[in-house]
Amino acid sequence: MGMTMTQKILAAHAGLAEVKAGQLIEAKLDLCLGNDITAPVAVNEFERCGACGVFNKSRVALVMDHFTPNKDIKAAEQVKRVREFADKYEVDNFFDVGRMGVEHAILPEQGLVGPGDCIIGADSHTCTYGALGAFSTGVGSTDLAAGMATGTAWFKIPSALKIELTGKPSKYVGGKDLILHLIGLIGVDGALYRSLEFTGEGVAHLSMDDRLCVANMAIEAGAKNGIFPVDDITLAYVRGRFQREVKIFEADSDAEYDEVISIDLSSLRPTVAFPHLPENTKTIDECNGQVKVDQVVIGSCTNGRIEDMRAAAEILKGRKVAKGVRCIVIPATQQIWLDSMHEGLFDIFVGAGAVVSTPTCGPCLGGHMGILAAGERAVSTTNRNFVGRMGHVESEVYLANPYVAAASAITGFITDPATL
């Protein structure tokens, strides 16, 4: 029996001719990632086990993004711990204030991850890099410590779901709607410890920003990873960024999948995930104008890229944020921040009555820069809407794409952008 794309990458990194679902392997790593929440724990374990250096100082990335700029003393101490570790072991890729960005946006942008890689990160949304044709998954801080020290990690080979995409998305529909639609179909545990492998002619109609969004939220279906084939769009994105060898893996024609799910992109509508799970989805037609909101957040590792900024600006241009609504825009990296500024998007945002933040995860995890009070509702382009995710346990988060989020900021209700 043939292998899936994920299985081929893992086999290559384990030095094996073939692997099968359920098999345990030890694989060589191309990159290890930590952030300001998870890396301090990994640093402590790294030093406790007696490690004397990282396996490769250019293959470790430490990104201070969740509470950065530091929101309080505890956050400052966390970052200080990681900063001292990076200095001690001469880690090349340490990202902090002035060089910062949300980890899953800055790593692809800076060319630190690419096709054929095997990547672990102590953050569940590390699966983002599957958009580039890499195997990438989240791990615990102890596994990160071991990976930084040895350059290896163990994995159980996942089985896979094949997601066949056809058609072309219509206006105001993008990667966020695709992944929310899929999670709505299969549930938050529908791909538990399996690989979500996207394929079909519809892939060509998804931009790299779309794919990064989709792969990012594979974990919200319980998946071990999400992955896209390497095509001309991928190669154009990594050209000039990714300095290591591009390695392209393709699934065998006789690869075994647990299930094949077909999705016609042209049939999708803007989709909103209601509280308190990403699987609780409704199309915009089912909720247009029915849910009053207090806050809108446009940003995060899911939808904080330049296409997302442009989408929000398209809707906000010449309009005003509704009275009583707080609209917070967070470009995901310094480069996206600069690009947005130079394109005049900040003029549009501020002119509409929104606020623009420095790159940070901030409100996505209830960290800072937009915490919700009891009874408040937010429309957010982030990836999770669990109870208390963005603040008080009696607040509510509705997940949507940037068009819907911006339209909702204007009306004060969850709104179909096509109706403006």
Query: Per residue in 287-342, pLDDT tens?
Result: 988 999 999 999 999 999 999 999 999 999 999 999 999 999 999 999 999 999 99
Provide mean pLDDT across the span 125-140: 97
Tell me, what's the pLDDT at 69? 92
Q: By the 8 A CB rule, do 93 and 112 touch? A: yes
Provide mean pLDDT across the span 257-267: 97
Give me the residues paired with residue 391 across strands: 372
3-state class (DSSP) for residue 89: coil
Q: Hey, do 5-264 and 272-419 end up sharing a CATH topology, with the first three levels equal? A: yes
Residue 352 per-residue DSSP state: H
What's 272-419's CATH class?
Answer: alpha beta
Strand 271-273 and strand 259-264: the pairing is unpaired
Q: Tell me the average pLDDT of the chain.
A: 96
Q: By the 8 A CB rule, do 315 and 420 touch? A: yes
Provide mean pLDDT across the span 344-371: 94
Tell me, what's the pLDDT at 68? 87
For residues 85 and 390, give the distance between their C-alpha atoms in angstroms, rounded to a whole number.
Answer: 30
Helix residue ranges per DSSP H, 61-199: 73-88, 103-109, 141-150, 175-186
pTM for this entry: 0.95
Per-residue pLDDT of 80-127, as tens digits, reads 999 999 999 999 999 999 998 999 999 999 999 999 999 999 999 999
The structural domains of the chain, with segments of one domain joined by +, span 5-264, 272-419
Which CATH number is associated with domain 5-264? Answer: 3.30.499.10
Q: Is the pLDDT of residue 1 over 80?
A: no
Q: How distant is the alpha carbon of residue 297 from its chain centre? A: 15
Amino acid at 382: T
Q: How distant is the alpha carbon of residue 130 from its chain centre? A: 10
Residue 357 per-residue DSSP state: P
Residue 400 per-residue DSSP state: -
**Closest listed residue to residue 125, CA positions, set 332, 397, 312:** 332
For residues 10 and 347, give the distance between their C-alpha atoms in angstroms, rounded to a whole number.
Answer: 46
Helix residue ranges per DSSP H, 167-221: 175-186, 208-216
Tokens read off for 385: 């809407």
Provide mean pLDDT across the span 201-225: 97
Tell me, what's the pLDDT at 236? 97
**Closest listed residue to residue 379, CA positions, set 354, 347, 359, 350:** 354
3-state class (DSSP) for residue 296: strand
